Structure 1
Amino acid sequence: MELTNTPHLASSSFFFSSCSPCACRSRRTGKAVITAFAAGSRCSADSIYACPEPIEQHNVDSLSVASGPANTQCYRRRDFAAVALLPFLLPHVDMASAADSYDGSIIQNGVRNVLSKVKAAGVLRLVFHDAGTFDISDKSGGMNGSIIYEADRPENAGLSKSLKILRKAKEGINQVQQVSWADLIAVAGAEAVALCGGPEIPIRLGRLDSSTADPTGKLPEETLDVVALKTSFGKKGFSAHPCLLGRTQEMVVLSGAHTIGGKGFGNPNAFDNAYFKVLLEKPRPTSSGMPIGLPTDWALTEDDECLRWINIYAKDQDKFFADFRDAYTKLVNSGASWRTA
């Protein structure tokens, strides 16, 4: 696992762009790497994990926890979160105090203390129901922790248990440093994926929480056909862009999260590409006489473009993992507001 404290430069466009390299310093202990980047610079990454940034909601001083391979030019140092100071177009901001006071490994460890494979699907579902309220037209909703006010809504049935699990983690983390619900849920979802054997996903930190519930009716309904699903994803900012994936591809790859949990797609505790393999089975399979999955899962098979990606991911799990990592990163940054130092 890699832990990266990464300041980002505000973008002039809502659409997401990949990041350019910057110098850094890091401390490596086993697989853990803690890195502090220069203030005012973008994080060093390639297209494997781009850093989506919502318009007008950036700060120089946001941090990130990365649970994937770092593509930085680093040199080892024992001191935690040392900051390389580089001149940039923006006024200089000293990141040392912010980096020192926000240790991503504390959040990860807090989540790991309460998370298990049988709880992973519910925790991952929290991410989709918090971030999935984002509406690009008015920039409402998104990854803002408002799910804590929305647990009694019909579409969020069952999520109270997952919130209770993360509340326990939050109480422990807050004894050391404060963590927002938005950051906690984003990290917990990534940890749930990794725990079940899925890809390790870098998570940018520094999200602010909403103090109110998001508007109702923003989540896609389980009965939507594929045309309505595409429209719904388009409203959430999932559209074609050269630095990430296309709307249909992102919709299909994120639906692959149903591979874990009780929807009947293979091993409920294994994050793999079984979801896509099951969708290709003819006739439509059942589990103990009960239908597998949701109507929206099978709606994907009725669209040629979706079916093309289902076939690709059914044959290539590594491709599924890489694309899921990118789409998840985009999802948990959607609509987020970011803290300053």
Structure 2
Amino acid sequence: MELTNIPYLASSSSSSFYSSYSRCTCRGKRAGNLVITASAAGGRCAADLACSQLVEQQNEDALSGPRSSWHYRRREFASAIFLPLLLPHVDVSSAAETYNESIIRSGVRNVLTKAKAAGVLRLVFHDAGTFDVSDKSGGMNGSIIYEVDRPENTGLNRSIKILGKAKAGIDDIQKVSWADLIAVAGAEAVALCGGPEIPVRLGRLDSSTADPAGKLPEETLDAAALKTLFSTKGFSPQEMVVLSGAHTIGGKGFGSPIVFDNTYFKVLLEKKPQTSSSGMEAMVGLRTDWALTEDDECLRWIRIYAEDQARFFDDFRAAYIKLVGSGATWRTA
């Protein structure tokens, strides 16, 4: 288990978590959150000028109104460039390591494509899905890297290899746990395919062992059994339905495999088998997807999300944040 104490970035826009050393400090803000803090122990830092320029640009942006995507990308790029220059001056024996979300997101974007997005998002569900609220076991802890040989996790080794490449590059700048990396990567996968932007709190610790087996939903479960299972993980029927909407991407047959939208719910409302050109029943979704339409409470939410994609995006964002916090053990400053 990685025990290094590292300050984490909270998703709340009303608070910032950062470490402070001496003299030279470079701070950047995004959406009200502190996303970069670096400083050197003793003396003036060689990057003082660059830091002051970044701060001046931030002040200009604050006065001029909403930031354009060009300004945002320029600042994110500058953060990625200057942070490695500053970190070598830090006395790590006496100061906590900076923990920067933009570094992780940039690393993920370097290896992620729309074609790989569904597999990466599935990785999130299979890591967090082992959580059991009764004994607080399992959850978002990176244990999925020890569980890829289980039948329910077939194919996830490819996504782990993809993120492993990102992790190697990120670790050269700052250490990142598998749990944080997977949580951020899932949010990036959703956004890359046109879904909502999802903030991710950082600071999860990794497990050093596999979680108990048999905690994920089986594909043969009916709606009643699914509702019972999700309740043991702390999720309501509404949250279960909205999270199931993640099946809108991938190869399950709900619309475009690389577009995150509300097509999943629209297809479920058709309530008829999808057939191929040969007349054989096509593999559209899982038995558990169609089971949702057989429950009145679930069906009500399916109709809501089929009619209102913005509502789907908002509710999915909230449920995803809850999912990647399930069972997590957090670093302390």
CA contact (8 A) 1:24 1:75 kept: no
CA contact (8 A) 1:196 1:269 kept: yes
Give the 3-state SS of the residue equivalent to 1:101 in structure 2: coil
How many angstroms does 1:286 deviate by? 3.3
The whole-number CA distance in structure 1 between the counterparts of 2:33 and 2:8 is 6
Query: 1:36 is matched with which residue?
Result: 34
Query: 1:170 is matched with which residue?
Result: 167
Give the 3-state SS of the residue equivalent to 2:28 in structure 1: strand
Deviations 1:229-258 (A, max 9, x none): 0011000011xxxxxxxx010000000000
Give the 3-state SS of the residue equivalent to 2:201 in structure 1: strand
Query: 2:184 is matched with which residue?
Result: 187
CA contact (8 A) 1:132 1:219 kept: yes
The whole-number CA distance in structure 1 between the counterparts of 2:286 and 2:100 is 39
Deviations 1:163-198 (A, max 9, x none): 000000001100111000000000000000000000
How many angstroms does 1:7 deviate by? 5.3
How many angstroms does 1:23 deviate by? 7.9
1:311-326 to 2 correspondence within 5 Å?
311-326=303-318
Q: Structure 1's 323 and 185: CA in aligned 2 closer, same or farther, altered over 3 A? A: same
1:272-311 to 2 correspondence within 5 Å?
272-287=261-276, 289=280, 290-311=282-303
Deviations 1:301-333 (A, max 9, x none): 000110000000000000000000000000000
* Paired AA for residue 220 in structure 1: P
Query: 2:51 is matched with which residue?
Result: none
How many angstroms does 1:104 deviate by? 1.0
CA contact (8 A) 1:137 1:235 kept: yes
How many angstroms does 1:340 deviate by? 1.7
CA contact (8 A) 1:27 1:33 kept: no
Q: Structure 1's 129 and 224: CA in aligned 2 closer, same or farther, altered over 3 A? A: same
Q: Structure 1's 221 and 27: CA in aligned 2 closer, same or farther, altered over 3 A? A: same
Deviations 1:106-165 (A, max 9, x none): 100000000000000000000000000000111100000000000000000000000000
* Paired AA for residue 259 in structure 1: T
TM-score with structure 2 setting the length = 0.74
The whole-number CA distance in structure 1 between the counterparts of 2:250 and 2:13 is 37
Q: Which has the larger radius of gyration?
A: 2
Matched, 1:102 2:105: no
Q: Which runs of 4+ in 1 moved over 3 A?
A: 4-8, 19-28, 286-289
CA contact (8 A) 1:5 1:36 kept: no
Question: Paired residue for 2:143, among 142, 146, 168?
Answer: 146
Give the 3-state SS of the residue equivalent to 1:333 in structure 2: coil
Query: 1:27 is matched with which residue?
Result: 28
Question: Paired residue for 2:208, among 211, 215, 219?
Answer: 211
The whole-number CA distance in structure 1 between the counterparts of 2:210 and 2:144 is 7
- Of Structure 1 and Structure 2, which has the larger fraction of its residues in helix? 2
* Paired AA for residue 177 in structure 1: Q
CA contact (8 A) 2:28 2:34 kept: no
Give the 3-state SS of the residue equivalent to 2:324 in structure 1: helix
Query: 1:131 is matched with which residue?
Result: 128
Query: 2:237 is matched with which residue?
Result: 248
Give the 3-state SS of the residue equivalent to 1:176 in structure 2: coil
Question: Paired residue for 2:115, among 113, 118, 138?
Answer: 118
Query: 1:270 is matched with which residue?
Result: 259
Consecutive unaligned residues of structure 2, counting only runs of 5 or more, are 1-6, 19-26, 36-60, 64-74, 80-94
TM-score with structure 1 setting the length = 0.72
The whole-number CA distance in structure 2 between the counterparts of 1:295 and 1:147 is 24
Identity %: 71
Matched, 1:160 2:157: yes
Give the 3-state SS of the residue equivalent to 2:144 in structure 1: helix
The whole-number CA distance in structure 1 between the counterparts of 2:16 and 2:117 is 35
How many angstroms does 1:33 deviate by? 4.7
CA contact (8 A) 1:264 1:292 kept: yes
